[in-house]
Amino acid sequence: MTQKILRFMQDEIAAKSEICQLGGRVLHHFSPTALVAELPDNVDPTTLTESSAQPSQPLDAPTQLAVTAWTSQKMSSPPKGDGLPWDSPGFSHPKKTSVPSVPNPSGDRSEIQTFSTDTPTSLYMAGPVAVGIIIVSRNTGLENITNAESTKIIQEVQKGLDWLIGLEPKAQLSIVYDIRQVTVTTIPGAGVIGNLESFEQGWRDDALIQITNIPGRAGSLQYVNDLRTTRRTAWAYVAFFTKYPLGHFAYGGGERLVMSYANDSWGVDNIHRVFAHESCHIFGALDEYTPCKCEEISGHLKVPNHNCVACTGTHQADCIMNINSLEMCTFTRGQIGWDERLFPRLPLGSIQHSSTALHETGDDFEFSLASNKDLFAIKKQGGGTNTTEIHVLSAASNYQQFSLHTGTALHLTDKSWTFAVAANRDVIGIKKNGGASNSTEIHVLSAASGYTQFSLHTATALHVTDENWAFVIASNRDVFGIKKQGGASKTTEIHVLSAANGYTEFSLHTLTSLHQTDGSWAFAIATNRDLFCINKMGDGNLSTKPQELPSTEVHVLSAGDNYRSFDIEKGTALHPTPLNWEFAVTSERNLFGIKKQHTGSNSTEIHIVDFYSVTSEASTSRLKTSPD
Ligand SMILES: [Zn+2]
């Protein structure tokens, strides 16, 4: 059994680390100074030293709001309309909306649509999630939101999220709040019935400009991407609450949802349920009331909508996507990614080893991890098809089966080539030298064609490169060129080729806090663009478990400040990995090691190391910014 406790702290990392070490976890991060943790019943909270039951300093306004809301939660009788279908007479139903397009690298919408949720910022509901709550109040009139009403909103949001957290402990949901109370002077406009944007645009853009300086969808995307980067979460989305007239009382899609304070006939006491419903839309769930379609598939795992009333009739299971009830059906669970394949697997600090269905591999193979953790083995030479081949080990089979073996449109390749898998499973080939363009070239094998066609051949703004360069691909397909040595800055440098500009321009050139590196280093990129720099031959100076032993060490350069500082540097539970190892990082920030040879199992092995969630050494190892 467990207990749920509110804690206050000054050192966020130390407090979280202590909670993890005691076998607990953080459920709600209200702010850097307040959180709600779950602890095993046998832990006496008074023994915690890194956090306290009462604040030791005055709280800032958003923290105070969250704490007041949490501490004044009470058990209440079921709210109005409890158990009624969302489309009951006399009530309105919460909507799913499609999202307006934003420009993408190739200038069309094809890439955007390949994301199951229309956005890469919320593919499935597991792990740490940042939630921006923007309460938009007018300075005067009926649209003004009082502090008591803001407290009610936060309380309902907490209640909805707490329900989701508790509903599936294996998803290890951990919510990071960013609460904004924004006051605007927007005059309520005359919205056009049927046009949500016409009601929303004025006050929303005035609020977004205060926060990001960017109106429209670009502003909300910028905001959630910033949240994901600065709060280091796997996912992020934003909820707008307002009393301004809306085209519909609640709707959500893409990276954001919009709700009216009054919450239509359902009333304010049902905000938590409507908010949970819309949050499920954000992570891929479909409505289950008329006109839902049973055969429609949705979510990262492409799950059909078989609890839609059209196929269940009166046998429909109670579910947040069809009725006003705190229940969830199997199909909704699947659509939001609640499935063994996507749950963060590891207990803290552990290593998971596994053999795979692939024989031992050499330099003729290169590996890349897809967003669903399928492992792409790219066979550059020696395959039966006389092309560069793709062999996919499926995560669903725990790497015991292949989901694809195929030749490709690409000829045999050598060490002048390196590869990565994009979010839509396109395979991006980077030709470092020897191309006709006399630059580093990019050649994209399209997943949609079964890798039989290229969707892009291009020269880039980067000159030819050699073994001093490594490459990783961000989730938006930006190509990160990592210059390990020989740069003017005498550091490991990062040069980012921008996908939005067709790789003809750089969006970043920077030195980093990491000294020059060599072949004993590997690089991988996290979903929030943090760069994991892996020292395969760590000498033990950073290694603390056990203290004196060398290990594979990880130095995480923080995207939040353009790689000028380390988010964390520490040894891992993995021994030094001199040869025959490649590395990736999972969306839960676990280190994913691929051992290619001399494995003992006669197969290529995977070793997944829970690196990030054990941060007890962070504060001390941080002092050392330049490892030798
Ligand atoms: Zn809905």
pLDDT of residue 621: 30
How far is 615 from 626, CA to CA, in rounded Å? 19
> What percent of the chain stands above pLDDT 70?
91
How far is 423 from 120, CA to CA, in rounded Å? 8
- For the residues 594-619, what does the mean pLDDT come to? 71
Q: Identify the helix (H) or strand (E) that includes residue 614.
A: none
Long-range contacts of 208-214 (CB under 8 A, 24+ apart): 210/182, 210/184, 211/134, 211/180, 211/182
Residue 612's pLDDT band (cuts 50, 70, 90): low
C-alpha R_g of the chain: 25
Residue 102 reports pLDDT greater than 70? no
Residue 571's pLDDT band (cuts 50, 70, 90): confident
- For the residues 360-380, what does the mean pLDDT come to? 95
Residue 623 reports pLDDT greater than 70? no
Residue 99's pLDDT band (cuts 50, 70, 90): low
Name the 3-class secondary structure at 570.
strand
How far is 251 from 94, CA to CA, in rounded Å? 6
* Interval between CA 94 and ligand 1 midpoint (Å): 5
Percent helix, strand, coil in the chain, to 5, is 20, 30, 50
Name the 3-class secondary structure at 564.
coil
How far is 593 from 551, CA to CA, in rounded Å? 13
Tell me 499's DSSP state. G
* Interval between CA 250 and ligand 1 midpoint (Å): 9
Q: Which of 6-20, 206-220, 411-425, 504-518 has the lowest mean pLDDT?
A: 6-20
How far is 352 from 370, CA to CA, in rounded Å? 18
* Interval between CA 133 and ligand 1 midpoint (Å): 19
Residue 64's pLDDT band (cuts 50, 70, 90): very high
Residue 550's pLDDT band (cuts 50, 70, 90): low
pLDDT of residue 570: 78
Angle, CA of 506, 105 and 341, to the nearest 5°: 105
CA separation, residue 40 to residues 52, 138, 174, 217 (Å): 17, 44, 17, 42
Q: Identify the helix (H) or strand (E) that includes residue 29.
A: strand 25-31
What are the residues whose beta carbons fall under 8 Å from the beta carbon of 204, sequence distance 6 or more?
136, 215, 240, 258
pLDDT of residue 255: 95
pLDDT of residue 104: 41
pLDDT of residue 541: 63
- Are 461 and 505 contacting, i.e. CB atoms less than 8 angstroms apart? yes
Closest CA to 328 of 279, 293, 294: 279
Which residues lie at CB < 5 A from ion ligand 1? 94, 96, 287
* Interval between CA 527 and ligand 1 midpoint (Å): 27
How far is 61 from 51, CA to CA, in rounded Å? 20
Residue 597 reports pLDDT greater than 50? yes
SS (H, E, C) 216-277: HHHHHHHHHHHHHHHCCCCEEEEEEEECCCCCCCEEEECCEEEEECCCHHHCHHHHHHHHHH
Q: What would the two tokens of residue 530 be?
A: 């943090």
| pLDDT tens by residue, 112-144 | 345 778 888 998 999 889 999 999 999 999 999
Backbone φ, ψ for residue 529 (5° rounding)? 75, 5
How far is 70 from 216, CA to CA, in rounded Å? 32
Residue 628's pLDDT band (cuts 50, 70, 90): very low
Q: Which position has the token pair 């399209």?
A: 446
Residue 66's pLDDT band (cuts 50, 70, 90): very high
pLDDT of residue 615: 36
- Are 126 and 344 contacting, i.e. CB atoms less than 8 angstroms apart? yes
Residue 348 reports pLDDT greater than 80? no
How far is 176 from 29, CA to CA, in rounded Å? 5
Q: Which of 184-193, 546-555, 560-569 has the lowest mean pLDDT?
A: 546-555
Residue 429 reports pLDDT greater than 90? yes
pLDDT of residue 40: 87
CA separation, residue 199 to residues 168, 189, 260, 425 (Å): 36, 7, 12, 38
Length of the chain: 628
Convert 139-166 to b/e letters by CB count within 10 Å (16 or more is b).
eeeebebeeebbbbbbbbbbbbbbbbbe
* Interval between CA 69 and ligand 1 midpoint (Å): 26
| pLDDT tens by residue, 22-53 | 778 899 999 999 999 999 888 899 999 999 99
Residue 381 reports pLDDT greater than 70? yes
Beta bridge partners of 23: none
Residue 622 reports pLDDT greater than 80? no
How far is 179 from 238, CA to CA, in rounded Å? 10
Q: What would the two tokens of residue 615 be?
A: 């941060």
* Interval between CA 582 and ligand 1 midpoint (Å): 43
pLDDT of residue 105: 38
* Interval between CA 111 and ligand 1 midpoint (Å): 24
Q: Which position has the token pair 């990736």?
A: 584
Q: How far apart are the first and last CA of the chain?
A: 45
Tell me 118's DSSP state. S
How far is 513 from 533, CA to CA, in rounded Å? 11
* Interval between CA 280 and ligand 1 midpoint (Å): 8
* Interval between CA 258 and ligand 1 midpoint (Å): 12
What pTM does this model have?
0.61
Tell me 476's DSSP state. T
> What percent of the chain stands above pLDDT 90?
69
Q: What would the two tokens of residue 579 be?
A: 């040869």
Residue 12's pLDDT band (cuts 50, 70, 90): confident
* Interval between CA 55 and ligand 1 midpoint (Å): 39
Name the 3-class secondary structure at 77.
coil
- For the residues 293-313, what does the mean pLDDT come to? 93
How far is 334 from 230, CA to CA, in rounded Å? 29
* Interval between CA 408 and ligand 1 midpoint (Å): 41
How far is 513 from 623, CA to CA, in rounded Å? 13
* Interval between CA 119 and ligand 1 midpoint (Å): 17
- For the residues 264-274, what does the mean pLDDT come to? 95
Residue 313 reports pLDDT greater than 90? no
Q: What is the mean pLDDT of the chain?
A: 88
* Interval between CA 322 and ligand 1 midpoint (Å): 8
pLDDT of residue 114: 57
**DSSP H helical ranges for 22-72:** 61-71
* Interval between CA 288 and ligand 1 midpoint (Å): 8
Closest CA to 477 of 452, 460, 453: 460
* Interval between CA 540 and ligand 1 midpoint (Å): 53
pLDDT of residue 349: 54
